[in-house]
Amino acid sequence: MAAHPSLSDLSSSGRSSFAPAPAAAAGTVYCFSIHAEAEPGVMPRVLQLFAKRGLVPTRWHSDVTGKDGRDLAIDVQVDGLDVATGDYIARCLRQTFQVEAVLTSQKHVGQKHLTVR
């Protein structure tokens, strides 16, 4: 059974060691747009591809769409994911049962600066 971090495990910044890097850091955000059948097992199968690599998506949005609610649209974003790994996950997603299409893109996010006068 996995242990959950306690308050003593939190760093001085208030984040646990399992938290993703802040979004303000410079880097690439890998985006996945997934079209699948609206079935209960689809979302866990999609999330598993990230979880088994130790990745926590920074954004996840899903909607039941289409005629009679038979389609599922999932948008996933992962900060700091390199292109080779993102492309590999996309290929795995395309082979996932009940996933019909996967589109990918990357956003380049620059470091945010705050000037105080």
Cα–Cα dist 18/26, whole Å? 19
pTM over 0.85: no
List the domain boundaries for the chain. Answer: 25-109
| Token representation of residue 64 | 């039941």
Question: What are the φ and ψ backbone dihedral angles of 20, each rounded to 5 degrees?
Answer: -70, 165
Three-class DSSP category at 106: strand
CATH value of 25-109 in 3.90.45.10, 3.30.1180.10, 3.30.70.260, 3.40.30.10 = 3.30.70.260
Task: Provide the residue-wise pLDDT of the chain in tens; the chain has 117 residues.
Answer: 444 444 444 444 444 444 444 443 457 899 999 999 999 999 999 999 999 999 999 999 999 999 899 999 999 999 999 999 999 999 999 999 999 999 999 998 775 544 565
Three-class DSSP category at 93: helix
